[in-house]
Structure 1
Amino acid sequence: MNIPPGFEGNTGNKVCKLKKALYGLKQSPRAWFERFAKVMKEFGYKQSQGDHTLIIKHSASEGVTALLFYVDDIIVTENDKREKHELKQRLATEFEIKELGKLKYFLGIEVAYSHKGSSSLNKKARMYQRLVGRLIYLAHTWPDIAYSVSVISQFMHDPREPHLQAAYRVLHYLKGNPGKGILFKKNNTLALEAYIDADYAGSLVDRRSTIGYCTFLGGNLVTWRSKKQNVVAKSSAESEFRAIAQGLCELFWLKIILDDLRIKWDGPIKFFVTIRQLSILLITLYNTIGQNILRLIGISSKKN
């Protein structure tokens, strides 16, 4: 860097101390995140343990205000108008903010509203690598293309004509179904459910298995995934058990988010699997837990 104007003399063994993170430095995002999180904590907000970009505050009137932010784009949702007004005033004293009104676009996702709920809409793309990259983004709001996109995304490094044709078929499907999205309905009942399945050695390239799961909260689809496993399963039982494990991790993560929002729900977590998965799960639980329980009971009875 150049010597600041007005500074003269020998500059040997001297350095410049950076007092403020400048825009464009690699430390800037971390400095901004720390600054924003610190200010929000001073306002009485807490970071979610499940997602650190989710900041929540519960008011004395049992209201809740939640902020979800990405760099300098922030979504605010609440059921406490007074807290929302105070939040806007406090943020205005600390930062230069601009309220854009009702949510329309966020991270490339368009949100449309109806009397039944809100629906997320998406767009198309071109070129294979750019196309697949955008299709991956589209899969965040189009669960029905999740599996197809997970397959064609495996050939990003060396795409051939059949891969391009497969990507075009996904585009044809999207073109034939414009305006479709995910509808979030109001529901008085709160239930956490998951549907999980997996194949065995389904990939003809490396014989790895593919898992798929989707989770519902209050009857609304909230998360889903279709992904090829990282290792080659030695048996169909191993493939199914890995799928169950990943589905359970997703459910526990959603439970953490609900706890952070102080949503009281003591009902059971419904876990829907195939009969084959259920038999594998019961056998595994018996071999790993059931025998140990029986063994412990036997030891304690001998001591008595």
Structure 2
Amino acid sequence: MIVILIYVDDVIVSGNCLTKIQETKKQLDKEFSIKDLGSLKYFLGIEVAKTKDGLVLSQRKYTLDILEDRGKLGSKPSSFPIEQGLKLDKGENEACVDASQYRRLAGRLLYLQATRPDITYSVNILSQFIADPRSNHLEAVNCVLGYLKATPGQGILLSRAGDPVLTAYCDSDWLGCPYTRRSRTGYFLLLGGTPISWRTKKQSIVSRAETEYRAMATTFSEIIWVRWLLKELQIHISSPTPLFYDNQVARHIANNPVFHERTKHVEMDCYFVRERVESKEIVPMNTSSKMQVVDLLTKGLTG
């Protein structure tokens, strides 16, 4: 099997047979006149390093370029990207800052999330203020830069070891946004222990209750899509995907066929989740709050 990943005119060719890979590249070169750069080392700003444990993906050079551009190479490092419990508002009483520079920096940090799930929550919070950034927002950005200064080479290990077992975590931060009062959904998917998909996003409406259930339904959609993609790549997952979360109420709703008055506003999500539970594609699992990995995406954590 040969897999080709294409972004405009940048191409990665992979597969399970080196001979077939070489034949594929020759055929592509005959048709399009390609330039073979050899083994994968750099792709769209992402550095790839081979180790005995697998492939390490990082954006060290990209991170250092951001720090240099902002004059933060000599800044004081920080052990966390955002202060715990910090609730940023619009800062209408704070001084204005250069909006174009703030937007440029926010955009660069958005792309850095490709290998840095540890800054996803912080960047999501800071991206809300690109229309009218204030000094308090810039201070929070500088905290992220201080964290990057301390961890410029942090990345993701695509491990050789372990079976291709898909595992998921999800959580929500109830009424987490201080000025819209919308809750935040976060999910985290791992394949064989390697992070492959993560997201944090404000929910589209203000929920009176069951924000955990909305988060769970969103995570179910992502799991189904990833399972389909793995099937296309001939990676067959026969066992149900465990979904871990620390909310007992959501688990009971998922397994209880009776709708109560307080859950009617999420009835569609309930049916969607139950169908997938009954088909044994996904199995809801409970985990303790201390072991909830996806807290990384729904709240500011300490060092």
CA deviation vs aligned residue, 1:183-226 (integer Å, no higher than 9, x gap): 11113422111000001111012111111110011111111111
Root-mean-square deviation (CA, aligned residues, Å) is 1.6
SS in 2 for 1:162: helix
Specify the alignment match of 2:111 in structure 1: 137
Specify the alignment match of 1:7 in structure 2: none
Specify the alignment match of 2:97 in structure 1: none
Specify the alignment match of 2:232 in structure 1: 260
Say if 2:162 and 2:193, in contact at 8 Å, map to a contact too. no
TM-score normalised according to structure 1 size:
0.70
SS in 2 for 1:103: coil
Do structure 1's residue 113 and structure 2's residue 85 form an aligned pair? no
Specify the alignment match of 1:281 in structure 2: 254
SS in 2 for 1:140: coil
Task: Report the AA paired with residue 271 of structure 1.
Answer: L
Specify the alignment match of 2:131 in structure 1: 157
Specify the alignment match of 2:28 in structure 1: 91
> What CA distance in whole angstroms lies between the structure 2 residues aligned with 1:85 and 1:184?
23
CA deviation vs aligned residue, 1:83-120 (integer Å, no higher than 9, x gap): 11221221122101000111122122122222222222
Task: Report the AA paired with residue 213 of structure 2.
Answer: F
> What CA distance in whole angstroms lies between the structure 2 residues aligned with 1:70 and 1:219?
27
Q: 1 or 2 for the larger relative contact order (CA 8 Å, sep ≥6)?
A: 2
Specify the alignment match of 2:293 in structure 1: none
* Between 154-163 and 85-94, the greater mean CA deviation after superposition: 85-94
Do structure 1's residue 245 and structure 2's residue 217 form an aligned pair? yes
> What CA distance in whole angstroms lies between the structure 2 residues aligned with 1:245 and 1:140?
24
TM-score normalised according to structure 2 size:
0.70
What 5-or-longer segments of structure 2 have no aligned partner?
Answer: 71-100, 260-269, 272-303
Say if 1:187 and 1:219, in contact at 8 Å, map to a contact too. no
Match of 1:147 among 105, 121, 142: 121
> What CA distance in whole angstroms lies between the structure 2 residues aligned with 1:116 and 1:262?
23
Specify the alignment match of 1:81 in structure 2: 18
Match of 2:209 among 199, 222, 236: 236
> What CA distance in whole angstroms lies between the structure 2 residues aligned with 1:100 and 1:178?
26
> What CA distance in whole angstroms lies between the structure 2 residues aligned with 1:138 and 1:162?
22
Specify the alignment match of 1:219 in structure 2: 193
Do structure 1's residue 67 and structure 2's residue 40 form an aligned pair? no
> What CA distance in whole angstroms lies between the structure 1 residues aligned with 2:185 and 2:237?
28
Task: Report the AA paired with residue 243 of structure 2.
Answer: F
SS in 2 for 1:99: coil
Q: Percent identity?
A: 43
> What CA distance in whole angstroms lies between the structure 2 residues aligned with 1:164 and 1:171?
10
> What CA distance in whole angstroms lies between the structure 2 residues aligned with 1:108 and 1:189?
29
SS in 2 for 1:236: coil
| Greater C-alpha radius of gyration | 1
Say if 2:183 and 2:202, in contact at 8 Å, map to a contact too. yes
SS in 2 for 1:286: coil
Say if 1:211 and 1:229, in contact at 8 Å, map to a contact too. yes
Specify the alignment match of 1:187 in structure 2: 161
Task: Report the AA paired with residue 45 of structure 2.
Answer: G
Say if 2:184 and 2:202, in contact at 8 Å, map to a contact too. yes
Specify the alignment match of 2:299 in structure 1: none
CA deviation vs aligned residue, 1:100-145 (integer Å, no higher than 9, x gap): 1111221221222222222222233243211111111111211111
> What CA distance in whole angstroms lies between the structure 1 residues aligned with 2:189 and 2:56?
17
> What CA distance in whole angstroms lies between the structure 2 residues aligned with 1:188 and 1:203?
38
Residue-pair matches, total: 223
